[in-house]
Amino acid sequence: MPTPYEIEIRGLHKSFGDNEVLRGIDLEVATGEVVCVIGPSGSGKSTLLRCVNLLEEPTRGQVFVGGTEVTDLDVDIDAVRRRIGMVFQQFNLFPHVTVTENLTLPQRRVLGRAKGHAAKVARENLERVGLADKADAYPAQLSGGQQQRVAIARALAMGPEVMLFDEPTSALDPELVGDVLAVMRMLAAEGMTMMVVTHEMSFAREVADRVVFMDEGRIVEQGPAAQVVGDPRHERTRNFLTRILDPAAADPPGPEEAP
């Protein structure tokens, strides 16, 4: 039966040895939806994303992408991964080749595209992220924010139907964050289905259709950003948001705080 969801996660568990990192995750992401995942360090956010494209093998449960069960043992993992773009905190560009080659090599190797076709797609996607003028530069000649935009363009050049972002701006100097978020905002506006692990609450409020708060391997609450970020129901969510929105206020709040 066709599902309206681009990503569907059912009863997902993941353990590393005795450490149960995901303890039963159920989550759907509709086609064109942007879901931001927030939560404390170690809560399992990266592991969740990595289970969606099978960089980690789930211990139990099912994951569907575009209606295909990717956790099916008979699935062609490479075919699945081609449909899912992933962007990490560390940009992972190939350092010894140019920006253009960073975009063309995976297209040629993985998709078997001809040189001219791959170069054309590379050009188009560098233009999309505003870096057409850096086509011949090497990664080390770019700022962190530019490198991350190249990494996004590289993922887009593969023509994914889903993009997964794992803290894409966490390694950047504050003044470089905005350009990367602008590219992600553009993708969202174009209707890309996105799962974004981020601590950028203003981005979540502005762009996310839904915010999911995770703690200790479970989804504690989820809903529209205005509700989860603006008016959280659970104390654990409130504590987390207090810590990241105002680190100075992270100490245990007294019952009668000064105004």
Distance in angstroms (rounded) separating the CA atoms of residues 112 and 105? 10
Q: Give the residue nearest to Mg ion (CB).
A: 46
Is residue 153 within 8 A of residue 184, CB to CB? The reply is no
237 is an interface residue for Mg ion by CB under 5 A: no
Is residue 166 within 8 A of residue 88, CB to CB? The reply is yes
The token pair at 112 is: 């078997």
From 209, 207, 212, 208, select the one nearest 237 (Cα to Cα): 212
- Among Mg ion, ligand ATP, none, the one that 43 touches (CB under a kind-dependent 5 to 8 A) is ligand ATP
Among 5, 43, 66, 207, binds ligand ATP (CB under 6 A): 43
Question: What is the 3-state secondary structure of 214-236?
Answer: EECCEEEEEECHHHHCCCCCCHH
235 is an interface residue for ligand ATP by CB under 6 A: no
- Among Mg ion, ligand ATP, none, the one that 102 touches (CB under a kind-dependent 5 to 8 A) is none
Which C-beta is closer to Mg ion: that of 55 or that of 137?
Answer: 55
Distance in angstroms (rounded) separating the CA atoms of residues 78 and 201? 33
Distance in angstroms (rounded) separating the CA atoms of residues 133 and 137? 9
Distance in angstroms (rounded) separating the CA atoms of residues 201 and 142? 26
53 is an interface residue for ligand ATP by CB under 6 A: no
User: What is the pattern of x (binds ligand ATP, CB under 6 A) and - over residues 9-38?
Assistant: -------x--x-x-----------------
The residue count for binding ligand ATP (CB under 6 A) is 11
User: What is the pattern of x (binds Mg ion, CB under 5 A) and - over residues 6-45?
Assistant: ----------------------------------------
Distance in angstroms (rounded) separating the CA atoms of residues 137 and 248? 41
- Among Mg ion, ligand ATP, none, the one that 58 touches (CB under a kind-dependent 5 to 8 A) is none
- Among ligand ATP, Mg ion, none, the one that 107 touches (CB under a kind-dependent 5 to 8 A) is none
Among 8, 12, 36, 47, binds ligand ATP (CB under 6 A): 47
- Within 8 A by CB and 6+ apart from 17, the residues are none
Residues that bind ligand ATP (CB under 6 A): 16, 19, 21, 39, 41-47
Residues that bind Mg ion (CB under 5 A): 46
